């Protein structure tokens, strides 16, 4: 289970999808979730980059700059970018949302937890070339004391099943070098 705002946007994405594999960008009406708009973003896809097409006020303020055109992966810790990009590639191919559990990192203060939703969308070309996203803090952002995030740290990526629960992941166990499960 996720924060109610994250759940709401996932459910909205599923409702807009209907019987199709993915909702189209034009199926999304920002007026349907006005109270979430400051936390919402839309990413494009340009080769290996994920440029911001739109970013709500909270998203831009958190990073203390206009994010239009900036690669979203550049906001994440260098050590976590490949894992996140791989997860988003899988989400795009499987046509299912993922939620990244993240830490907002700012200088001189404790990090603050956040859920970052990435829900794939079909563009005008019919290709899965966009993501509808949401920054949902799960801790008190007042702890950042107005300081901008210098990076986001990735704790875990959760691909979603139909009931908004994360999908099972393959796990292997070994005992004395032998695989047992």
Mean pLDDT of the region 72-77: 98
What domains are defined for the chain?
Answer: 4-179 (3.30.450.20)
* Greatest CA separation for the chain: 57
Nearest C-alpha neighbor of 6 from the set 114, 87, 155? 114
Mean pLDDT of the region 15-32: 94
pLDDT for residue 167: 47
Greater model confidence, 180 or 85: 85
Determine the 3-state secondary structure of 65 from DSSP.
coil
What does pTM read for this prediction?
0.88
Mean pLDDT of the region 79-107: 97
The rounded distance, in Å, linking the Cα atoms of 173 and 180 is: 6
What's the pLDDT band for 175 if we cut at 50, 70, 90? low
Partner residues linked to 180 by β-bridges: none
pLDDT for residue 140: 94
């Amino acid at each position: 289970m996720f924060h109610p705002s994250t759940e709401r946007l996932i459910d909205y994405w599923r409702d807009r999808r209907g019987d199709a594999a993915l909702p189209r960008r034009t199926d999304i009406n920002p007026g349907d979730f006005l109270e979430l708009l400051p936390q919402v973003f839309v990413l494009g896809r340009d080769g290996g980059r994920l440029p911001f097409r739109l970013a709500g006020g909270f998203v831009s303020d958190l990073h203390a700059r206009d994010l239009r055109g900036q690669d979203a992966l550049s906001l994440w810790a260098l050590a976590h970018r490949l894992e996140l990009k791989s997860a988003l590639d899988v989400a795009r191919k499987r046509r299912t949302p993922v939620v990244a559990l993240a830490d907002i990192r700012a200088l001189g203060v404790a990090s603050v937890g956040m859920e970052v939703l990435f829900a794939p969308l079909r563009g005008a070309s019919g290709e899965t070339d966009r993501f509808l996203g949401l920054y949902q803090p799960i801790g008190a952002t007042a702890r950042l004391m107005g300081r901008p995030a210098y990076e986001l740290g990735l704790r875990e990526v959760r691909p979603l099943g139909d009931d908004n629960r994360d999908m099972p992941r393959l796990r292997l166990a070994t005992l004395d070098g032998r695989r047992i499960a």
